[in-house]
Amino acid sequence: MPKSPLRHAALFGAASLLLLLGACGGGGGGSTPPAAPPAPPAGACDGASVFVVADASLPAGKTAGAAIGGCSAPLANLQWTQTAGPAVTLLADKTQTISFDPPQAGTYSFTVRYSEGNGPLQTRNVTITATATPTTSRVSVRTDQAVRAGGSVSLRAWETYAAGDSLAANGISWQQVEGPTVSLDTTDARRPLFTAPAVARDTLLRFRVTLRTAQGTTDTDEALVLVENYAQAPSGSNAFAFRGLHVSRTYAYRPGGPFAANLVPCTYDAALQYTSAANNTLCPLSALPFLHQTTGGAVPTTAQIMDRLVVSHDWMGQVFEQFLNSGLASDDMKRMFNGVTAVVIGAAVRPSFYYALTGAIYLDASNFWITPAQRDVINERPDFRSDFDRDLQYSGLWRYTQNNQSIFLAFPPNLRTERPLDYLLREAGWLIYHELGHAADFLPPAVRGGLNNSLTAWDNIAPRFSARQLPSDLLDAQLGLTSSPMRALAQVKFQLGPQSNPNTVIGGFTYQQLTAITPQQAAGFFSGDRASDEYSYSTTYEDIAMLIEEFLMQRNHAFRRDVAITDKITAGSTGNNLIVRWGQRGRIGETAVRPRVQQVVQQLTPWVLAADPNAIAAIPAPLAMRPGESWNANLVLPAPPPGPMGAASARLPALSFEEDRMLLARALGGPPGGLLALDAPAGSTGYRPFGHWTPNDRWLEGLRRR
């Protein structure tokens, strides 16, 4: 049976609690614009300092939720604890909203501890009753959540069908039923998207999903989204480190660690500003030093790395620690963490990036989930680059391979599939090497002995940046890339996106000229130069990070990287019919690229060549792909021999259309990761206020132009 939308409110004294019991923990509204929602509950904060909203009763098999909001001050030190009922796991127990799936009928009780601003700790109690699981078709929404104002939000409808039943035509619709009106993007009916509105205080939004089935069943569920009142950095002020970008709630994973109190204020706070060395709110290294200053440059222990970890949910820290302790992370990877002040893993970080202002790396949590429940808390908004190349006539793809198989697997969101821990090396290893490569570029091992603790991370880096003495600067000056068409195309694909004026000049070419370049022409431009990937043309910093990433993935894990120029991906493209026009496996072994790898490894990971002077010479020559054959067919390199044995060796895993498209989407994505949407209409993927520029890119570009 559907949850009741009715709510009951009890008002207490001036410093007391407003408890709103009603329906949440489900979904909301259709592909058509939602009806105007009712006003928020009258007097929700009248005479109260906080309010709590929770499901009163719902069937087991749906998602339950509860939230606490502040009326006059931000809430901090949050901790939800279950006090009664069958045990459930609360993956968001340090946020303002919890969500869980009741495993059976029963009464579930919780206590939430919190403080208002810097005030004393207080507690409130919540009880949710789960009734028997219905046998009819039903829908649930994953997941109730809290988000700061301006943040992107995704919800997901999850259907369960009775025997013989199925979804009716247009059988999933959404409606907003409470809170300030938002614009719901229901391009994917199972995954609506919206941006949290600006609010003057913590504010409740509620959404309802309706399921209609072929057998005539109608079911509804509702989702609660608590929007936190948090002042994001203004987009118009260059002084703010995170100007125009969303900073989500995070905390130090180890609250008793030596740097716990400084991790978030020093690395992920919207109030951080920098105008000059004498006028900024960044932290000096005395407050948050680089890890190298703790280890002396030796391979860090897992504990030393974990002392620098910031997360939005505890499970991210737990999985990351398991990864470091499992033996999957190489000593090269661990040693490269010496170049950062902190590691931030967040459900709303997308794309991943390194930031020279703070000395930290910021990683998208979608690379780290193991269980479906962990995946549920990660925002699903596609990377805003999804339609950047829509007008170009070719596609550029990449993947890592081992034994003629892609190391990547597809995990469709409609399946509750777990990922083994060792898969995280494939999912996140390349990303970690890439972002740590940026860190080593801006603070190479050779200069870490002369850091000034009275200065910020950036002020220790700035003199070498200004003098163009970063390893990426030296690589560009001595062995730089030469293809001007590829540089211009990279500006479109990774920074600017589609242009409305065909005469707009980009890198010396009009947009019309760039959109006329054929796959064969792009293949010639790229193969005749010495980049390891198209992304290398976006900035010199990405160029060097791509080289060290590919080298360390191949050296430490025997994963060889494919790069290819193909025909344009269209709505009907799969890996089996997308034709390769040029491609290589292991391009870092190419004669023109190998000297660049030598220089990069010497600068960023000098211990590698100290231990093995022939490490670069040992890189095998690349394997050529077969032009005219498909992306999937080119997994087997070189070509399989004729006969039954060759046919057996060329047999590829059977993929559904959805799985194949998911793998194509990740093959098309830029190296910092993110969820691309191949099937989204142009412009439907939402905001891109600064193109692909990460905070680091925008900050450095601003400096270069001064």
Q: Which of 24-38, 151-165, 426-440, 537-551 has the lowest mean pLDDT?
A: 24-38
Q: How far apart are CA 87 and CA 72, in angstroms?
A: 33
Average pLDDT over the chain, rounded to an integer: 89
Quote the pTM value.
0.91
Assess whether pLDDT exceeds 60 at residue 34.
no
Two tokens, residue 666: 């990740």
- Residue 54 pairs in a beta bridge with 21, 66
* Residue 16 pLDDT level (bands cut at 50, 70, 90): very low
CB atoms within 10 A of CB 348: 21
Whether residue 20 contacts residue 55, with contact meaning beta carbons closer than 8 Å, is answered with no
Segment 147-176 mean pLDDT: 96
pLDDT band at residue 364 using 50, 70 and 90 as cut-offs: very high
Task: Give the tens place of pLDDT for each residue, 513-534.
Answer: 999 999 999 999 999 999 999 9
Task: Work out the average pLDDT over 191-213.
Answer: 96
> Cα(248)–Cα(378) distance, rounded to whole angstroms?
12
Q: What is the pLDDT of residue 40?
A: 43
129-143, 202-216, 636-650: the lowest-pLDDT one = 636-650
**18 confidence band (pLDDT: 50, 70, 90):** very low
263: its two tokens? 């991790």
Lowest mean pLDDT among 103-107, 308-312, 697-701: 697-701
Average pLDDT (680-695) is 44
In the chain, what percentage of residues exceed pLDDT 70?
88
Contact 34, 2 (CB under 8 A): no
327 Cβ contact partners less than 8 Å away, ≥ 6 residues apart: none
Under the banding of pLDDT at 50, 70 and 90, the label for residue 706 is: low
Predicted pLDDT at 643:
66
CA distance 340 to 362: 11
Taking only Cα atoms into account, the Rg of the chain, rounded to an integer number of angstroms, comes to 26
pLDDT computed for residue 557 by the predictor: 98
User: Residues of the chain with pLDDT > 90: what percent?
Assistant: 79
Pairwise CA distance, residues 108 & 85, whole Å? 4
pLDDT tens digits along 636-654: 999 887 766 555 555 667 8
Asked if residues 9 and 48 have their Cβ atoms less than 8 Å apart, the reply is: no
Which of 5-9, 122-126, 179-183, 412-416 is least confident?
5-9
Rounded average pLDDT over 426-449: 97
CA distances from 218 to 8, 106, 138 (A): 25, 25, 8
pLDDT per residue over 564-610, tens digit each? Answer: 999 999 989 999 999 999 999 999 999 999 999 999 999 999 999 99
The per-residue pLDDT for 147 is 97
Intra-chain end-to-end CA distance of the chain, in Å: 63
At residue 9, the pLDDT reads 28
Residue 621 φ then ψ, to 5°: -65, 150
pLDDT digits (tens, 9 = 90+) for 386-403: 578 889 999 999 999 999
Is residue 35's pLDDT more than 50? no
The first and second tokens of residue 9, run together, are 């409110």
The Cα–Cα gap between 301 and 278 comes to: 35
**pLDDT band at 350; cut points 50, 70, 90:** confident
Q: What share of the chain is helix, strand, coil (3-state, %, to 5)?
A: 25, 25, 45
CA atoms within 13 A on the CB side of 547: 36
Checking DSSP bridges between strand 394-402 and strand 405-406, what pairing results, if any?
antiparallel
In the numeric block, the tokens 């204020």 are attached to 265
Find the farthest-apart pair of alpha carbons in the chain and give their distance in angstroms, rounded. Answer: 84
Q: What is the pLDDT of residues 471-509, one digit of tens each?
A: 999 999 999 999 999 999 999 998 888 999 999 999 999
Taking residues 298-325, report their average pLDDT. Answer: 98
In this prediction, residue 494 carries a pLDDT of 85
Spatial separation of the C-alpha atoms in residues 552 and 440, rounded to whole Å: 14
